[in-house]
Structure 1
Amino acid sequence: MQPHSRLVRTMIIRTVAAAVCAVALIVSGTPAQAQPRPGRATARLDSGWVRGAAGAGVTVFSGIPYAAPPTGDRRFAPPAAPEPWIGNRDATAPSPSCPQPGGFDAGGVRVAGQEDCLYLDAVVPRRSGHRRLPVIVWLHGGGMITGAAGQYDATRLASRGDAIVITANYRLGALGFLATPALDAGGVDSGNYGLLDQHAVLRWVRTNAAALGGDPGRVTLAGQSAGARSACAHLAAPAARGLFARAILQSGPCAVPFLSRAEADRNGETALAEVGCAGAADPAGCLRALPVADLAALLPDFGVPAARRPERWGPVAGTTYLPEQPIAALRRGSAAGVDLLLGTTRDESRSFVLTGYPNLTAEGYAAELRAVFGDDADAVRETYPAAESPSPVIALATVQTDRTYACPGMITARTASRYSRVYAYEFAEDSGLMAGGQPMGATHGWDLPFLWTLRMPQAGYPDPTTAQARLSDTMIDYWTAFAHRGRPASPGAPQWPAFGPRSTVLGLSTEAIRPVAFADDHRCAFWAAIERQER
């Protein structure tokens, strides 16, 4: 793999700063009786009955197990079906998060969450009638090392959009993506446990959508950042074919390479040494016997500058579940017929760069380009001169935005549009946030509060203005109309043209909703030429 490609993949996974089937229990009754109805917060699932909580126009079912606890012998193994239960299971407590860093202190990494974490939350519009609703399955971001289903309150999205919304946890970090031959078993390669958890969620939805009033034939797989990258993997995975009809990719282009099996195995060897299992007679047993905190603390090296930090944990290509890189699979038509809505924010990388290079000078900018791009550094500096940006750090953020998000997003859209309907956007609303005296602009993750009520106090997002609240309504309309019919639309809002020969990208902001010159604005022709030189 070329070094620049590795850098592209490295940048796409970092969202830490922005953050955060069993045998069915047979119960008599008709499908209509099993669906949530106004005043009734119960549903009959394949594993048993659940009792949720009635909210503002929705019923919320929380903490539903979609797989058995991945503990003991199930650690570092594919997810197993949950045990059925008798009676009405309480489903009012939010799903617990999977183990992840919860901060740092003098003792090292503080770990939050629990290993018994394979749960999902479902938000169902409360309504009369028996019309089946579309289902949106959301995969959270967090760089594959942080995040949780409970951070996303889908009440507005579900009630305004008249759609069922599922948010789910999946194993993170080493617990979700550690690869080593010692853990390969039963014809399944290690390294993609987190992906297999997500696959189990999709299978759960196919089985249980009707019990919630949903249509198993209208499932939209959606995600942001690491969640969108995960969705790319499922678009490419043969085993996921038919489990969802549409996909929404926010800030996670499929054109950025995943770890290869060789790279993932090298990361695994390093991890085994770090936790003292490298020389064990039974490395798998050693790993399964470790305190969960020891594994959750295996993080990327945050002492390395962000643009040069090697990827440690993430989906692995060249494996049983993901035989090839997602963009290669898309070129072959692996997702033919799956409608796509995808896009990026205008200033994706500012949240990473402004915090990582607070005092960058023009000389430091040139040195960083040399470190990252080598022989191509002069061409990059001439195309992105520091003097034409508000500051050298904004120039570096612009380089990384275009190289690792915007232009790979265009490649993804063009590739997928050969076989499917594609709708592309750029979220360009300014956040008004500052970091180190520099404007964050429309940075990575700033689109999230326009779709969700976030439970992420650390994000520090401001309360929306009246105009931003209207934009939020329009975006929810677009997103959920896509889930309903495969075409984004909003009453009174501009029509959203499909991405086709003209490569139309719709800009979304309070100033205007209109097509933008996306490829030109982000200098994608320049980056395409750089890619050709690398080959």
Structure 2
Amino acid sequence: MRLSLLILLMASLMTAGCVLTPGQVDRVRFARDAELVLARTQAGIVRGVEGDGVRAFLGVPYAAPPVGENRWRAPGPVEPWSGARDATRLGRGCIQALSPKAVLGGGGGVVAGSEDCLYANIYAPAGEPERARPVMVFLHGGAFTLGSGGQYDASRLAQDQDRVVVTFNYRLGALGWLALDDLAAPGDAGGDFGLMDMIALLRWVQNDIAAFGGDPGQVTAFGESAGGWGLCHLLASPEARGLFQSAIIQSAGCFERSTQAAVDQAAADGRRFAEALGCPDADCLRALPAWRIARVASPRRGINGPGSWGPVYGGPRTPMNIEAAYAAGQIAHVPVIVGSNTDEARLFTVAVRSRERFEREMRWSYGDDAEAVLDRYPVVDGDYRASLAASLTDALFACPAHRMRLALSPHVPVRGYEFGDADAPVRIPRWATGDMGAFHASELAAVFGASWALQDADGFSPEQAALSDRMRHAWAGDLADWPVTQDGDAPVRIFSPEGDRLDDSFARRHNCAFWADVVLGGETPRLQAD
């Protein structure tokens, strides 16, 4: 469906603040008791800052810069340095084009960030720990084309939950996900350099997190949207085995078959991409300015359908389609939490105000199934947006999460959740957005207990603040009274300001039997940029 230009443009511009220039965590850096602290990694000493009960090390390299001859290569080891390296400012985000079309792989836009971007940010409670703390590693979202780890201030999550929390950048767009025979290493398939970055970060955590007070044997990986998609692939990746001990997948419809690209098809698409740039080989591509590469439209089919980027399968990191891997139990045997938000697609349907626009979007999204979908999701009182948003939420988020829980349950402990704050804070004015409900990514302010590009956590009501506290405890491992799915359905935990509850009607409420016929019998509904 067509995304609102206003929403995506404003989101892109707010994101740019974390990409164009390195920043800092103001709460820590400018605390009255702020002081510099040191940590010794295998590559050298880093100098961070401690204040207001939190210790932060920002912009710490976890891999060599993927520039020059290292563009489209596996991330290499960090070159050691002498002296103390400053770690009080965020490193630059990865190269990305900021425009509504570019977010979905459509090309164009203002290019921000740097190829030298493989940096991590580490947050921990102040002081020297009496014991090694559990670790939480966050994989940011952004359709594999946008975003950075620096958008998310994890200081409160670390302090409140007594955890070491890591955020980080990974390569985006064509620089992260281009598949091309000429770029692949011998015996490799290529097309998932961003996934290689994620694995490199997790290996760095194994080697170096103890320097920051973390326990490498207690790592929880949690990812939202595209970050959740990446985590879905990491669960199925032999190269990621043993690098994390639990996983939380937030709002990622990983089982959508038509958006999972096999490496041979991705390589054919890559050849078209190279032709669009006028480059016959890898040497030519590596010589191009990064901004030119970032502005070219994607030929791939990724997580947002045609013309978008994402991981591939058929190579050493993801040998098979992830749905097949899950069904066969070819996954990391770790506890998993999988969930979605009640009103995911309201973020993407702001512009749907008229019958004409609604009918166009229905035809685009559902093709020959549009009439059947409309029968299931009728328009009430002329609210076209509500009908389309409800159908897309169920088709692309809620029911894929349900199917994933069922596929995982014979093999690992899996729990389900739904984020249901109907009045979640949003920075974009309500006059522009209308009723947003629990929209896509609206759980992030609650999970981190902090503001980010789209949300201002300072606007939490007392009930929302209590909800955030419960979610932070749950994400940190407090799973009491949260049932596990056992070879079938199980109650889903609903997180809401009114209080949490267990709901056994999730699949019925979201029409998952209907979508099993529509989606599995045909093509997945699509998103489209204006």
Does residue 509 in structure 1 map to residue 501 in structure 2?
Answer: no
Q: Which amino acid aligns with 2:285?
A: L
Q: Which amino acid aligns with 2:407?
A: T
Distance (whole Å) between structure 2 residues aligned to residue 139 and residue 244 of structure 1: 13
Does residue 45 in structure 1 map to residue 41 in structure 2?
Answer: yes
Partners of 2:137 and 2:167 within 8 A in 1: yes
Give the count of matched residue pairs.
484
Partners of 2:59 and 2:87 within 8 A in 1: yes
Query: Which shifted more, 166-175 or 314-323?
Result: 314-323
Query: Which SS does the other structure have where 1:439 is aligned?
Result: coil
Q: Of the candidates 481, 488, 493, which is equivalent to residue 479 of structure 2? A: 488
Q: Of the candidates 398, 409, 420, which is equivalent to residue 417 of structure 1? A: 409
Q: How does 1:27-42 map to 2 (within 5 A)?
A: 41-42=37-38
Distance (whole Å) between structure 2 residues aligned to residue 113 and residue 221 of structure 1: 25
Q: How big is the shift at 1:200? A: 0.2
Does residue 369 in structure 1 map to residue 362 in structure 2?
Answer: yes
Q: How big is the shift at 1:93? A: 1.3
Aligned to 1:3: none
| Two-structure CA RMSD over aligned residues (Å) | 2.8
Q: Which amino acid aligns with 2:70?
A: R
Partners of 1:366 and 1:381 within 8 A in 2: no
Q: Which amino acid aligns with 2:485?
A: F
Aligned to 1:360: 354
Q: Which amino acid aligns with 1:506?
A: R
Change (3 A) 1:364 1:90: closer
Does residue 521 in structure 1 map to residue 509 in structure 2?
Answer: yes
Change (3 A) 1:527 1:222: same
Distance (whole Å) between structure 1 residues aligned to residue 330 and residue 500 of structure 2: 32
User: 1:387-413 deviations in whole A, cap 9, x for unaligned?
Assistant: 3x7611221111111001000000111
Query: Which SS does the other structure have where 1:313 is aligned?
Result: coil
Distance (whole Å) between structure 2 residues aligned to residue 437 and residue 324 of structure 1: 40
Aligned to 1:27: none
Partners of 1:222 and 1:231 within 8 A in 2: yes
Partners of 1:152 and 1:453 within 8 A in 2: no
Structure 1 spans left out of the alignment, 5+ residues: 1-6, 21-37, 490-494
Q: Of the candidates 296, 299, 317, which is equivalent to residue 298 of structure 1? A: 296
Distance (whole Å) between structure 2 residues aligned to residue 437 and residue 153 of structure 1: 25
- TM-score normalised by the chain length of structure 2: 0.85
Change (3 A) 1:464 1:59: same
Aligned to 1:151: 151
Change (3 A) 1:16 1:512: farther
Q: Of the candidates 400, 424, 428, which is equivalent to residue 408 of structure 1? A: 400
Change (3 A) 1:171 1:308: closer
Q: How big is the shift at 1:125? A: 1.5
Partners of 2:449 and 2:472 within 8 A in 1: no
Distance (whole Å) between structure 2 residues aligned to residue 503 and residue 299 of structure 1: 42
Distance (whole Å) between structure 2 residues aligned to residue 272 and residue 506 of structure 1: 46
Partners of 2:445 and 2:451 within 8 A in 1: no
Aligned to 2:224: 224
Structure 2 spans left out of the alignment, 5+ residues: 16-33, 102-106, 524-530
Q: Which amino acid aligns with 2:295?
A: A
Aligned to 1:391: 383
Partners of 1:330 and 1:416 within 8 A in 2: yes
Q: Which amino acid aligns with 1:498?
A: V
Change (3 A) 1:70 1:134: same
Partners of 2:358 and 2:384 within 8 A in 1: yes
Q: Of the candidates 44, 64, 68, which is equivalent to residue 68 of structure 1? A: 64
Q: Which amino acid aligns with 2:384?
A: P
User: 1:75-121 deviations in whole A, cap 9, x for unaligned?
Assistant: 0111111101122221111121011124599x952111111111111
Q: How does 1:195-234 map to 2 (within 5 A)?
A: 195-234=195-234
Query: Which shifted more, 244-253 or 446-455?
Result: 446-455
User: 1:106-140 deviations in whole A, cap 9, x for unaligned?
Assistant: x9521111111111110011245431111111111
Distance (whole Å) between structure 1 residues aligned to residue 211 and residue 304 of structure 2: 48
Does residue 134 in structure 1 map to residue 121 in structure 2?
Answer: no
Query: Which SS does the other structure have where 1:41 is aligned?
Result: strand
Change (3 A) 1:457 1:252: closer
Distance (whole Å) between structure 2 residues aligned to residue 191 and residue 45 of structure 1: 30
Change (3 A) 1:229 1:507: same
Aligned to 1:4: none
- TM-score normalised by the chain length of structure 1: 0.84
Change (3 A) 1:195 1:435: farther
Distance (whole Å) between structure 1 residues aligned to residue 52 and residue 186 of structure 2: 46
Query: Which shifted more, 160-169 or 373-382?
Result: 373-382
Distance (whole Å) between structure 2 residues aligned to residue 407 and residue 18 of structure 1: 26
Does residue 474 in structure 1 map to residue 474 in structure 2?
Answer: no
Change (3 A) 1:414 1:59: same
Question: What is the identity percentage for the equivalent residue pairs of Structure 1 and Structure 2?
Answer: 39
Q: How big is the shift at 1:230? A: 0.3
Aligned to 2:27: none
Q: Of the candidates 259, 281, 301, which is equivalent to residue 261 of structure 2? A: 259
Partners of 1:133 and 1:163 within 8 A in 2: yes
